[in-house]
Amino acid sequence: MCGIVGYVGKQKAAAILLEGLKRLEYRGYDSAGICVQQSNRLDVAKKVGRVENLVKEAAKQRFTGTTGIGHTRWATHGGVTDANAHPHVSCDGKIALIHNGVIENYAQMKSFLLGKGYTFQSQTDTEVLCNLIAYHLAKEPEAQNGTNRFVECVRKTLRHVEGTYGIAVLCVDYPSEMVAARKASPLILGVGDGEYILASDASALVSRTQNVVYLRDGEIVHVTPVSFAITTLDQIDVSPVVDKITWSIQDAEMGDHAHFMEKEIFEQPTALENTMRGRFSEDGSTAQFGGLNISAAEFRQVERFVFCACGTAWHACLVAEQLIERFARIPVEVDYASEFRYRNTPLDPSTLFLFLSQSGETIDTLAALREAKRKGYKALAINNVVGSTLAREADGGIYQHVGPEIGVASTKAFTSQLLLGAMFALYLGRMRDMSYSDGVRLVNALKGAPDLVRKALREAPHIREIARRYAQYRDMLFLGRLSLFPIALEGALKLKEISYIHAEGYPAAEMKHGPIALISEKCPSVIFATAGEMFPKVVSSMQEIKARKGPIIAIVTEGCELPPGIADEVITIPDCHEAVLPIVASIPVQLLSYYIAVERGCDVDKPRNLAKSVTVE
Ligand code: F6R
331 phi-psi bin (left φ>0, alpha ψ -120 to 50, beta other)? beta
Q: Is the CB of 590 under 6 A from ligand 1?
A: no
Q: Is the CB of 357 under 6 A from ligand 1?
A: yes
The closest residue, in CA terms, to atom 11 on ligand 1 is 311
Q: Quick one: which of 480, 485, 542 has its CA closest to 516? A: 542
Q: Catalytic site residues?
A: 2, 612
- Cβ atoms of 575 and 557 within 8 Å: the answer is yes
- DSSP string covering 104-150, please? TTHHHHHHHHHHTT---SSS-SHHHHHHHHHHHHHH--S--TT--HH
Q: Average of pLDDT values for 419-432? A: 97
pLDDT for 608 equals: 87
Coil, strand, or helix at residue 437? Answer: helix
In angstroms, the CA 60 to CA 45 distance is 9
**CA distances, 163 to each of 88, 122, 135, 372 (Å):** 18, 19, 20, 20
- Residue-wise pLDDT for 115-154, tens only, equals 999 999 999 999 999 999 999 999 876 666 667 999 999 9
pLDDT for 617 equals: 75
Q: Average of pLDDT values for 532-560? A: 95
| Entry pTM | 0.90
Percent share of the chain, pLDDT over 90: 89
The closest residue, in CA terms, to atom 7 on ligand 1 is 409
- Residue-wise pLDDT for 552-569, tens only, equals 999 999 999 999 999 999
List the 569-573 sheet strands across, edge first: 502-507, 475-480, 525-529, 552-557, 569-573
Burial label, 56 (beta-carbon count in 10 A; 0-12, 13-18, 19+): exposed
Domains and CATH numbers, the chain: 3-246 (3.60.20.10), 257-447 (3.40.50.10490), 458-605 (3.40.50.10490)
pLDDT for 344 equals: 87
- Cβ atoms of 66 and 9 within 8 Å: the answer is yes
In angstroms, the CA 431 to CA 437 distance is 14
Using the mean position of ligand 1's atoms as its centre, give its distance from the Cα of residue 310 in Å: 6
Using the mean position of ligand 1's atoms as its centre, give its distance from the Cα of residue 410 in Å: 6
Q: Is the CB of 313 under 6 A from ligand 1?
A: yes
Can the peptide bond before residue 87 be classed as cis, meaning omega within 30 degrees of 0? yes
